[in-house]
């Protein structure tokens, strides 16, 4: 069969289960596709072809024997390089972990395997998920936007986004601390979902900012995102921050009907900075929702303007603490020619971390230091609560919230933006992490030939609402 790689995850699963395709054929087709395209795109930092083929054969055997099959039987999935899997290189795109082989499976990996998915490799990212371009990776390869090879794919889960956009796999898992799933999804024209904080286990995810990080799927369609969520959501004894809220069947929530759904549009998201060509696509998307029978209501999230500064105090603070474990002693990179233990710490960390990571460690250490803790960290915690309260108030009157994902489309790789300019790019995505609510980026059209996404934000543990709206929009748009 031609062009297996063009199918969706759901189609692959159905064809494998009914014997129309073997898992082995699917995996072979995907690796052929990767060989044909990845020199140019650069999605992957490591591949597990032999293991994937072995696993495919076992699934084909199950099909033959009439054994029960998982929800992702035979579906090739890629994983961001900050989630551990047993026996596989897992580096977080950092030199400090350049030789680290996973000794256990992250819970999401375990769940994928239990669902008979096939993990094909690890994708490129910004070092330790800090960034929005995938250019702070320690790997020399530059991940490129499949829509325009001179542009960034976004980040930090850039390789995850391109692996789906370039049809090198059907589902990819990324992590989102301040927008790292939704922004690259928007830049690359695919679907990206950040679940509610506490919906998906973070066990086995390299911690960046533990109170903000969530794992979520990149897919070609909203329906596939629902399918992936059916597999990865839910309780796990290894992550105490999960909440015991029933996991619905997300596929069943895609009724296609959003008549009467109340969609809030926050006025603070449409004032400055947003490029006219992006605004056009976003406004047209809003019209589509109106046509589908949703009720559009203007709302206010008054503390929006504090989201970026709040995040850039809290995320580095948590990162500086989380990254203290990389000391060159127990695992990862260790410098040579050392005088004493202090020299070992300093040299290993100086040589092992890249510039952006060091910048964040310094900011984080500063805002947590005794003299500045109240002025920065504590203050930011209070503002975080106000941002969360804004959403609580808004959700008393609306079902979901509609916003742009980013102020602009993918920018050029050689366009050197300053750290602060890059931080400001996160303006529309960061609030969802601070408030812990779910958000999805759904492709809405092109602006000057480049993809533009729209963002739908939901109430805590109500991924089904934004999936339903996203699915209806996806169908209603054509
Ligand atoms: N761009 C943001 C940052 O640099 C978000 C990163 C993320 O979500 N992992 O921190």
Based on the residue annotation, tell me whether 369 is a catalytic residue of this protein: no
- Work out the angle at residue 210's Cα, subtended by the Cα atoms of residues 170 and 155, and round it to the nearest 5 degrees: 45
| CB-based contacts of 71, cutoff 8 Å, min separation 6 | 13, 115, 116, 227, 230, 231
Looking at ligand 1, which residue's alpha carbon is closest to its atom 10? 130
pLDDT band at residue 459 under the 50/70/90 scheme: very high
CATH number at residue 305: 3.90.1300.10
Task: Flag the least confident range among 2-6, 19-23, 112-116, 464-468.
Answer: 2-6
451: which strand partners? 446
Averaged pLDDT, 85-89:
97
% of the chain at pLDDT higher than 90: 96
pLDDT at 212 over 70: yes
Cis peptide bond N-terminal to 156, omega within 30: yes
Model pLDDT, residue 476: 86
pLDDT at 1 over 70: no
Q: What is the pLDDT of residues 213-249, one digit of tens each?
A: 999 999 999 999 999 999 999 999 999 999 999 999 9
Model pLDDT, residue 226: 98
Averaged pLDDT, 396-418:
95
In the set 180, 186, 201, 320, the catalytic residue is: 180
Averaged pLDDT, 417-436:
94
Averaged pLDDT, 270-279:
88
Model pLDDT, residue 2: 65
Averaged pLDDT, 47-72:
98
Residue 130 alpha carbon to ligand 1 centre in Å: 5
Based on the residue annotation, tell me whether 186 is a catalytic residue of this protein: no
Q: What is the pLDDT of residues 46-56, one digit of tens each?
A: 999 999 999 99
Q: What is the pLDDT of residues 293-335, one digit of tens each?
A: 999 999 999 999 999 999 999 999 999 999 999 999 988 999 9
Based on the residue annotation, tell me whether 211 is a catalytic residue of this protein: no
Atom of ligand 1 nearest to the CA of 179: 8
Q: What is the pTM of this model?
A: 0.98
Sign of CA dihedral 183, 212, 461, 432: negative
Q: What is the pLDDT of residues 285-299, one digit of tens each?
A: 999 999 999 999 999
Q: Are 458 and 466 spatial neighbours (Cβ–Cβ below 8 Å)?
A: yes
Model pLDDT, residue 478: 56
Cα(144)–Cα(34) distance, rounded to whole angstroms? 14
Residue 208 alpha carbon to ligand 1 centre in Å: 9
Pair type for strands 400-404 and 439-447: unpaired
Q: Is the CB of 177 under 6 A from ligand 1?
A: yes
pLDDT band at residue 424 under the 50/70/90 scheme: confident
pLDDT band at residue 272 under the 50/70/90 scheme: confident
Q: Look at the chain and report how many structural domains it folds into.
A: 1
Q: Is the CB of 429 under 6 A from ligand 1?
A: no
Q: In angstroms, what CA-CA distances link 115 with 74, 207, 209?
A: 9, 25, 29
Q: Is the CB of 224 under 6 A from ligand 1?
A: no
% of the chain at pLDDT higher than 70: 99
* Full domain range(s) for residue 75: 1-478
Sign of CA dihedral 232, 234, 237, 238: positive
Q: Are 206 and 456 spatial neighbours (Cβ–Cβ below 8 Å)?
A: no
Crossing angle between the packed helical segments 276-291 and 463-476, to the nearest 10 degrees: 100
Q: What is the pLDDT of residues 93-115, one digit of tens each?
A: 999 999 999 999 999 999 999 99
């Amino acid at each position: 069969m031609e062009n297996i790689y063009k199918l969706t995850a759901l189609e692959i699963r159905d064809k494998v289960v009914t014997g129309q395709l073997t898992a082995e054929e699917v995996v072979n087709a995907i690796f052929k596709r990767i060989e044909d395209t990845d020199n140019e795109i650069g999605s992957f930092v490591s591949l597990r072809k032999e293991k994937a083929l072995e696993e495919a054969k076992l699934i084909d055997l199950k099909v033959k024997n009439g054994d029960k099959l998982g929800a992702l039987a035979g579906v090739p999935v890629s994983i961001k390089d900050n989630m551990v899997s047993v026996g596989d290189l897992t580096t977080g795109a950092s030199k400090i972990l350049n030789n680290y082989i996973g000794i256990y499976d992250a819970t999401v990996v375990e769940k994928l395997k239990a669902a008979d998915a096939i993990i094909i490799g690890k994708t490129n990212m910004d070092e330790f998920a800090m960034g929005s371009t995938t250019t702070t990776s320690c790997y020399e390869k530059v991940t490129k936007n499949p829509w325009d090879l001179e542009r960034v794919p976004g980040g930090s889960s850039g390789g995850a986004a391109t692996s789906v956009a370039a049809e090198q796999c059907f589902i990819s898992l990324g992590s989102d601390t301040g927008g790292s799933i939704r922004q690259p999804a928007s830049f690359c024209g695919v679907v990206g979902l950040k679940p509610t904080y506490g919906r998906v286990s973070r066990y086995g995810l390299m911690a960046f900012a533990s109170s903000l990080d969530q794992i979520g799927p990149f897919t070609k369609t909203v329906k596939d995102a629902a399918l992936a969520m059916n597999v990865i959501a839910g309780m796990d004894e290894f992550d105490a921050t999960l909440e015991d809220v029933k996991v619905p069947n997300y596929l069943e929530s895609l009724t296609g009907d959003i008549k009467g759904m109340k969609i809030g549009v926050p006025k603070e998201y449409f004032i400055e900075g947003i490029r006219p060509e992006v605004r056009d696509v976003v406004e047209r998307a809003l019209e589509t929702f109106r046509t589908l029978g949703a009720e559009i209501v203007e709302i206010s999230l008054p503390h929006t303007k504090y989201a970026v500064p709040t995040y850039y105090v809290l995320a580095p603070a948590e990162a500086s603490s989380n990254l203290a474990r990389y000391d060159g002693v127990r695992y990862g990179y260790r410098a040579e020619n050392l005088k004493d233990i202090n020299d070992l710490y300093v040299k290993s960390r100086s040589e092992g971390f890249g510039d952006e990571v060091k910048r964040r460690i310094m900011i984080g250490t500063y805002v947590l230091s005794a003299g500045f803790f109240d002025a920065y960290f504590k203050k930011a915690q209070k503002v975080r609560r106000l941002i969360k309260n804004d959403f609580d108030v808004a959700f008393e009157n609306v079902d979901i919230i509609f916003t742009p994902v980013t102020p602009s489309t993918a920018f050029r790789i050689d366009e050197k933006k300053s750290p602060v300019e890059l931080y400001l790019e996160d303006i529309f995505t960061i609030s969802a992490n601070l408030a812990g609510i779910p958000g999805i980026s759904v492709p809405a059209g092109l602006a000057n030939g480049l993809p533009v996404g729209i963002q739908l934000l939901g109430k805590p543990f109500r991924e089904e609402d934004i999936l339903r709206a996203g699915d209806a929009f996806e169908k209603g748009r054509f």
